[in-house]
């Protein structure tokens, strides 16, 4: 098909071509979603190879999610301005190159740098990939089916990452957790070049690059400050407080830039909706605990119980299955219960899970004793995130729907990465050597969940229409 045919025929490529594109975009979505969780079981092996403790290993997870969440909205805007196909190619190539670098990394700092680049690739590629799907499928049942496939693949990628991590690490080694994605990325790049129509000429439009950089710098500096604060004499005393002060200044600078920007990354009009602001704040607090729980499961099964990566991955199968079941079951209750009730239920389940993790670690129980906590986490994620997502995009206009969704996803990713940094960084710090790290991290997460419950309680929305949801 000639490059301009998509625009000339009112966005109506042949169904076969559209579904081929969807398959390739779903493959990319799966690889990116898997990368959020696939490193969990591999972390102890990575730490053993590089001599990194639990606090430093948090960089392998949060480095990816911070840059992915911080640059996500900028990536979406860049696709609108520079062309989705161009940005999709750049983001996918960057993600693949960073995956190769991570798999071959000779040192821990280089591995962390590769994870940062992977997150940047995700931020560029994912919004452009979703926009391509929307353009390839006309509005109506075909687009609905395509977006349903897209969402289902993302959920499967997240949950299967736990299992794949154990299998790959055990059979091939932790480096293949990253390297296995490279050939699939090459397939996606070839498909984009051959199947996705070329972009129209780029339009000169102001981009809020300072806002994107500040939004990413704030959590990165915060993470650096917390990790360095936990080092046992390994860094100058002034460095952690300087990094934390820099995080505060970056956050304040982001707000100032957004107020003056001609085309802000986060339009401040979105903050006029009280339910939306509360929903995003509660999302960040809930995601902080959820992400922490995933890491605690891994550390307990492999470091405390000394299970092999394969056995640890198989032990996490109930979590993966329960997450899939929750993603199917919970949306049906949203129309009956309303967003706030679903959110509070999810926060409650997550709090019970964190208490169960602390109790299991205190009793030094076996692997099977962690399964109730895993099931509670799945329920907490299913109820809580679905309810808060609904509240976060409530009453948005058509022009703001994409931005509101991007803000909610950024709150999810940045909240999760900040929570892991804070809860695990403090819980596993040498200063708390006399306290169980699992109990300390769980108690910190419980405090965050109490704040999340107070915030979610103040969300006031009408109950969703079951026929519509």
pLDDT at 433 (0 to 100): 52
pLDDT at 7 (0 to 100): 40
Evaluate whether 316 touches 297 at the Cβ level (below 8 Å).
yes
b/e sequence 74-102, b meaning 16+ C-beta within 10 Å: bbbbbbbebbbbbbbbbbbbbbbbbbbbb
Q: How far apart are CA 48 and CA 254, in angstroms?
A: 38
pLDDT tens readout for residues 165-213: 888 888 888 999 999 999 999 999 998 998 888 877 766 777 788 888 8
Q: How far apart are CA 380 and CA 294, in angstroms?
A: 13
Containing 152, the helix (H) or strand (E) segment is: helix 141-171
Q: How far apart are CA 273 and CA 24, in angstroms?
A: 37
Instruction: Band the pLDDT of 231: cuts 50, 70, 90.
Output: low
Evaluate whether 38 touches 156 at the Cβ level (below 8 Å).
no
CA-nearest of 369, 346, 324, 344 to 453 is 344
Evaluate whether 161 touches 34 at the Cβ level (below 8 Å).
yes
Q: How far apart are CA 251 and CA 319, in angstroms?
A: 35
- Which residue would you say has higher pLDDT here, 335 or 379? 379
Radius of gyration of the chain (CA): 21
CA-nearest of 290, 454, 442 to 360 is 442
pTM, 2 dp: 0.79
Q: How far apart are CA 247 and CA 76, in angstroms?
A: 24
Q: Of the ranges 101-110, 128-137, 229-238, 292-301, which one carries the lowest mean pLDDT score?
A: 229-238
């Amino acid at each position: 098909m000639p490059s301009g045919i998509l625009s000339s025929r009112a966005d109506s490529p042949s169904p076969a071509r559209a579904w081929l594109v969807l398959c390739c975009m779903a493959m990319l979505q799966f690889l990116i979603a898997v990368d959020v969780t696939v490193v969990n079981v591999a972390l102890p092996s990575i730490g053993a190879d590089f001599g990194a403790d639990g606090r430093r290993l948090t960089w392998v997870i949060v480095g990816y999610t911070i840059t992915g969440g911080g640059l996500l909205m900028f990536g979406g805007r860049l696709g609108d301005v520079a062309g989705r196909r161009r940005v999709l190619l750049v983001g996918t190539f960057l993600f693949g190159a960073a995956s190769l670098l991570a798999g071959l990394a000779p040192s821990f700092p280089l591995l962390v740098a590769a994870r940062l680049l992977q997150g940047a690739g995700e931020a560029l590629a994912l919004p452009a990939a979703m926009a391509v799907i929307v353009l390839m499928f006309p509005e109506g049942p075909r687009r609905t089916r395509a977006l349903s496939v897209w969402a289902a693949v993302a959920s499967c990628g997240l949950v299967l990452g736990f299992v794949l991590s154990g299998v790959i690490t055990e059979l091939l080694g932790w480096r293949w957790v990253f390297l296995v994605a490279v050939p699939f990325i090459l397939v996606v790049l070839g498909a984009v070049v051959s199947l996705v129509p070329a972009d129209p000429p780029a339009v000169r439009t102001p981009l809020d690059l300072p806002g994107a950089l500040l939004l990413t710098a704030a959590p990165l500096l915060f993470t650096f400050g917390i990790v360095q604060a936990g080092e046992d004499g390994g860094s100058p005393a002034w460095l952690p407080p300087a990094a934390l002060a820099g995080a505060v200044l970056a956050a304040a600078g982001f707000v100032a830039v957004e107020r003056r920007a001609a085309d802000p990354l986060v339009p401040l009009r979105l903050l006029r909706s009280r339910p939306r602001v509360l929903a995003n704040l509660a999302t960040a607090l809930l995601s902080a605990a959820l992400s922490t729980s995933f890491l605690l499961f891994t550390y307990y099964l492999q470091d405390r119980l000394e299970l092999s990566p394969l056995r640890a991955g198989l032990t996490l199968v109930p979590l993966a299955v329960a997450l899939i079941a929750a993603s199917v079951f919970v949306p049906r209750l949203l129309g009956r219960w309303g967003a706030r009730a679903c959110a509070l239920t999810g926060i409650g389940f997550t709090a019970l899970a964190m208490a169960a993790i602390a109790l299991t670690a205190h009793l030094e129980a076996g692997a099977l004793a962690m399964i109730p906590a895993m099931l509670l986490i799945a329920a907490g994620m299913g109820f809580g995130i679905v309810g808060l997502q609904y509240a976060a995009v409530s009453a948005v206009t058509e022009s703001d729907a994409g931005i509101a969704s991007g803000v909610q996803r950024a709150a999810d990713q940045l909240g999760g990465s900040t929570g892991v940094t804070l809860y695990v960084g403090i819980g596993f710090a040498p200063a708390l050597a006399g306290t169980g790290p699992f109990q300390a991290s769980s108690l910190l997460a419980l405090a965050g969940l109490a704040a999340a419950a107070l915030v979610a309680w103040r969300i006031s929305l009408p109950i969703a229409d079951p026929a519509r949801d």
